[in-house]
Copies of this chain bind each other. A is one copy, B any other.
Amino acid sequence: VTVSSGDQAVIDSTDSLDGHGYASVAVTVDLVVLTIRQGRLEVLLIERGSDPFKGQSALPGGFVQSDEDLDDAAAHVLARECGSTLAHQAHFEQLRTYGRPDRDPRLRVVSVAYVAFVPDAPEPRAGSDAASAHFRLVADLLAPQATLAFDHARILGDAVERARAKLEYTSLATSFVTSPFTVADLRRVYETVWGATLEPNNFRRKVQATDGFVIETAAARTGPGRPARLYRPGHAATLHPPLLRPRAGDEMVTDGRALA
């Protein structure tokens, strides 16, 4: 198991494996755990306790064991950082794999990134043994001067874009709220992730017209105004027709509550 750094960069996988060496590469999973707290998009970060990037913030992650599926590895990290109860409600999916040779100064690390969407987390972290897991504002971290360890800023950017895109054509938004929710709750998810304001009426119509997005319940939630009807997630995974986000030229909320 040694590195053969010869001229030919790619070894034909059809050849006998034993004849050639293959690169010794560590494979990790990194998680972008997104949540919405008080109308703001936040991401779970840990503070690195050792070099490299000691003291800087980083995405939680871990090495993949040799008998472990990638999805399982991601699930384990999620459970470790968020607690198993929250981890079970969360929806997570593979994002992309990052493998630049210099992304970890220690050794060659290929990282399979995952995105997880959790409803408003009760507390920053539940049963974590990591010293310092905490949610941070995504808007601050996407700013140009913000720094994250490794290439985690890029991973975070890709994850946010994935979330924005998937709100359009999937029922992902229901993963950001706890189960009895109002249409306004759902709308605020879209507004927070997209950084845009939506017409409440038209949003309701689209949600109700989209088959299987939400299921009406008998209950209602009381508040400052007229009680709001409560819903639970529907069975549809994809939305027909899609809920397209406002495109260029539309007003963007530019105060502290919006993303960059």
Contacts and interface: CB of A to CB of B under 8 A. Distances in A.
Among A14, A61, A67, A129, the one with the most B-chain Cβ atoms within 10 Å of its Cβ is A14
Contacts of A259: none
Interface string A15-58: 11100101111111110000000000000001011100000001
Among A62, A72, A76, the one with the most B-chain Cβ atoms within 10 Å of its Cβ is A62
A44 to B, nearest CB: 13
A10 B106 contact: no
A27 B23 contact: yes
A70 B110 contact: yes
B112 A10 contact: no
Contacts of A94: 96-97
Contacts of A72: 9
A99 interface: yes
As for how many copies of this chain the complex holds, the number is: 2
A66 B23 contact: yes
A95 to B, nearest CB: 10
A50 to B, nearest CB: 5
A63 B23 contact: yes
Contacts of A66: 3, 5, 23-25, 101, 108
A182 to B, nearest CB: 29
A211 to B, nearest CB: 11
